[in-house]
A and B are shown apart, each in its own frame.
Chain A
Amino acid sequence: QVQLQESGPGLVKPSQTLSLTCTVSGGSISSGGYYWSWIRQHPGKGLEWIGYIYYSGSTYYNPSLKSRVTISVDTSKNQFSLKLTSVTAADTAVYYCARDYAVTTGNAFDIWGQGTMVTVSS
């Protein structure tokens, strides 16, 4: 059973870079057909998709965050990572990693990590 676990600092200073890692267990991140996403949720608000990295290494980012976001993969560690630069208080949120994949009728999200709270504050 594939599981995802986010990790990283819970506190980041303004203007610095937020760095999070999602560890995949129970399966290989290199398995074909999977999109590995980062999603965030501001306190008391809805979900915001940040971007994904495909198993091949290609990426796609939310246009509203594209200039500050980098998602990368480390297949040797079975992990993928998020870097968000020049953070402000507006980046304070719970950050989730999740998986979706292509099916014959479209795409399906299935597995989510438990989420990690990141606060941007000096």
Chain B
Amino acid sequence: QTVVTQEPSLTVSPGGTVTLTCASSTGAVTSGYYPNWFQQKPGQAPRALIYSTSNKHSWTPARFSGSLLGGKAALTLSGVQPEDEAEYYCLLYYGGARVFGGGTKLTVL
């Protein structure tokens, strides 16, 4: 059973920078896992932010960026806004299977 692990929670100050990570139980995350990142606010469906490690959708704010960092996929928010407070999920591809991480609750305080 493949497990994808994220930080359960992080706190960041408005205007600050924070990095969320996504690790795989199978080893280092590479671009071949096509990391995707999603944002979910309470009562809403998830919204796609990043695909294939670092690519942004047309609606993704510029302050969000994706990368690989130390064997993990990473989502960095620079110049955090209060409206960025949300749950963030990563997703990795394992051949045909897709596996979500457990999510990171980001608090902006």
Which A residues are within 8 Å of any B CB, using their own CB? 37, 39, 46-49, 52, 60, 62-64, 96, 98, 100, 103, 105-115
Contact = CB atoms under 8 A, between A and B. Distances in A.
Contact of B51 (A47, A60, A62, A109): A109
Given A105-B31, A109-B91, A110-B57, A48 B100 contact: yes
B103 A47 contact: yes
Nearest to B2: A63
B25 to A, nearest CB: 14
A62 B36 contact: no
Interface residues of B, number: 27
B51 A108 contact: yes
A46 B38 contact: no
Contacts of A49: 91, 97-100
Contacts of B1: 63-64
A53 to B, nearest CB: 12
Nearest to B35: A106
Given A96-B45, A114-B45, A107 B99 contact: no
B55 to A, nearest CB: 7
Given A109-B36, A112-B45, 8 more contacts: A37-B98, A49-B91, A49-B99, A62-B97, A96-B46, A100-B36, A105-B52, A106-B34
A115 B45 contact: yes
B68 interface: no
Interface in B95-109: 96-103
B53 A46 contact: no
B64 interface: no
B2 to A, nearest CB: 9
Contacts of B34: 105-108
A109 B93 CA distance: 11
